[in-house]
Amino acid sequence: MNIRQYLDSTYLKTAIQAGLDEDQNSVIVKKFIQEAIDENFKLIMIRPNMVAIAKEMITTANSKVGVGTVIDFPDGNSNVEDKLVEANLAIQDGADDLDFVCNYNAFIAGDSDLVKEEVLECTKLGLEKGKVVKWIIEVAALDDKQVVQLTALIKNVVVSNFKEIFYNSVFVKSSTGFFITQGNLPNGATISTITMMLENAFPLPVKAAGGVRTYEEAVAMIQLGVKRIGTSGAKIIANGAGTQLEY
């Protein structure tokens, strides 16, 4: 099974997180972009400051690889106005996909109205600009009931406010890949969590991110019904092997 068109090849470490200077980290990002072009992945997922470079490389290569970036990453705590500003800048730089981190802490604290507002306003912006929007709910920060509730909240906002033709352009996504768990528990996609998301996101698609490390795991996720997989080991996984990379 050729899974390349399911893969969002991902590199989201800052220079500090990678233990590098900015130039060294930029070299790594460019390698990921070139690899996505060479391997014909669905998308390259990078930080906002590298979107313009990615778009230029992909355009020069006459490639169909999409450019995705993250908004309010990785904590999701910014207000809706700040999220909209960051998203607009990414759109201006050429982003095709906008992966917003949902304010899951507000949701946990009981402020569902705040989350509904950001989902509505940010999704509206993305769809009006012809972009794919994904909402990262950070499953490792939630219990099973909260995963179900937050997934359903996002689905209900979209279904209530946008036409059916847009449903396939709004994803619910599992994880940032950067959440620190205790006891070495999974911080991303698992079969049980993704199953809950699929059941409660429908008719919206689901992206599995964080923890998909082998070809077999990727195929299992696709067979469950996910439409995208985010991984920093896309080439290794696509070629049928496994990766020890974190995201």
Catalytic residues: 99, 173, 207
| Measured distance CA(44)–CA(34) in Å, rounded | 9
Tokens of 200: 């409660």
The SS3 call for residue 61 is: coil
Tokens of 83: 């999220």
| Measured distance CA(201)–CA(196) in Å, rounded | 8
CB neighbour list of residue 113: distance below 8 Å, 6 or more residues apart: none
Answer for the pair 135, 171: CB distance below 8 angstroms, yes or no.
yes
55 beta partners: none
Long-range contacts of 213-216 (CB under 8 A, 24+ apart): 213/237, 213/242, 213/243, 213/244, 213/245, 214/241, 214/242, 214/243, 215/3, 215/239, 215/240, 215/241, 215/242
| Measured distance CA(195)–CA(191) in Å, rounded | 6
Distances 27 to 11, 15, 114, 137, 191 between C-alpha atoms, Å: 12, 11, 38, 30, 34
10 beta partners: 45
